[in-house]
Amino acid sequence: MSTATPRDPVRDWARSGVAWLTGHPDGPPVIPPGVAATRASELTDLIATATAGAVRLDGAQLLAERAAFTGHRRSGASSAGGACRLLPTADGWAAVSIARPDDPALYGALIGSDDLGNDPWRAVGQWLRDHPGTELDERAELLGVAAGSVGVRDAPVVDVTGRRPRSVAGLLVVDFSALWAGPLCAHLLGLAGASVIKVDTPTRPDGARRGNADFYRLLHGGHRSVVLDPDVDDDRAALYRLASAADIVIEASRPRALRGFGLDAEEFVRSGTTWLSITACGRASNRIGFGDDVAASAGLIAHDERGPVFVGDAIADPLTGLTAAALAMSSGDDDALHDISMSGVVAATLTGHHDAGVSGASGTWFVDTADGPVPIARPRRREPVGQAPPTGADTDAVLHDLGIRR
């Protein structure tokens, strides 16, 4: 009989750093609903088993790790990073991200306005108050903006239970992803002994390079960087051969993006490649999303006396990255093409609300648990190991090593 102490979701939230990032800046932290912090710890337990204990991390703490580098704080109905907001609709709430240079123009098209002025949030907020969330969802998917009404999504559920651990040591990982979820997966596979090649294109380099340099180095240290242009015939052929050489491929875009490069996941998995496909709402959906709006629209929001607030910092990203890594480090009856919906990953953790009292002041907060008060931890960081190569620095060497000519 197992004597392991059952996990307490409230305690896991408290030690994760996520609760510290949840709530208003002038108020106490808020314990989120669900069991995402507990699920994250279970995933790193699976990774520890798959690596015979060589990779032991605290999954709960990984959920808030980026904020330890950036200094992000809880910001209530604005995301910790500031690019997403919770806004009222005619029949509920919506999470809206305005993060990309083209977003103001796209939102202008969404609300039917040629000029949003100097404050696109004001115009979008006014439109939302007069329209239901379903209309936002339809228009956002059509126009490719990261926004959605708050509510549990109908998205593929990812289940890692019942799978057998497998070693990835010595395997070749080709990583087409960017930002956080996919790179975290690649980072964990690298820690487990895989060789990781990050692939960018000249027109779409990883935007995370413009973010915190130390956090980028944490996720990409020790990897190799390749840049190939799918609009150039020789580079396009090299991309195909690079994907063909991979044991594991990570992508974090809608399937049509890589198909446009001449890469079809189904073709590669027939040859034995493990393909990790990370999307906002599944491969069958055209919706796009980032970590904050996906988590909130999937239903992971907290509340205080002033209304809904964001949970953590883009929490859908690290939770999905952990899930993808656990899938890659395990095997089952059908382990070729993994349709990893960020929305589905988040929604699967929404199994309960916690009425946990928070007390304290002046930056020292505690939450009540069955075992007594537990301090609410701040986000914690791991120190980067190794250097992240400049974009494309290893292109020629990687192609040479794999016998790929262009």
Sites in the chain below the pLDDT cut of 50: 1-3
Determine the Cα–Cα distance for residues 170 and 236; give it in Å rounded to an integer. Answer: 26
State the DSSP string of 145-182.
-SEEESS----PPP--TTPEE---TT-EEEE---TTHH
pLDDT tens for each residue of 22-75: 999 999 999 999 999 999 999 999 999 999 999 999 999 999 999 999 999 999
Residue 238 is predicted with a pLDDT of 95
Domains located in the chain, CATH noted: 156-350+382-401 (3.40.50.10540)
Q: Which of 13, 39, 46, 316 is nearest to 180 (CA)?
A: 316
Residue 357 is predicted with a pLDDT of 84
Q: Which of 384, 311, 382 is nearest to 57 (CA)?
A: 382
Residue 255 is predicted with a pLDDT of 85
Q: Which of 274, 261, 253 is nearest to 174 (CA)?
A: 274
pLDDT tens for each residue of 334-372: 568 999 999 999 999 998 777 788 888 877 999 988 888
Taking CA atoms, 69 is separated from 20, 169, 382, in Å, by 15, 29, 9
Residue 3 is predicted with a pLDDT of 43
The contacts of residue 339 (CB under 8 Å, 6+ apart) are: 156, 158, 277, 279, 282, 283
**Residue 203, class by beta-carbon neighbours within 10 Å (0-12 exposed, 13-18 middle, 19+ buried)?**
exposed
Token pair for 74: 């809880």
Beta sheet of 172-175, edge-to-edge order: 224-227, 195-200, 172-175, 248-251, 274-279, 337-341
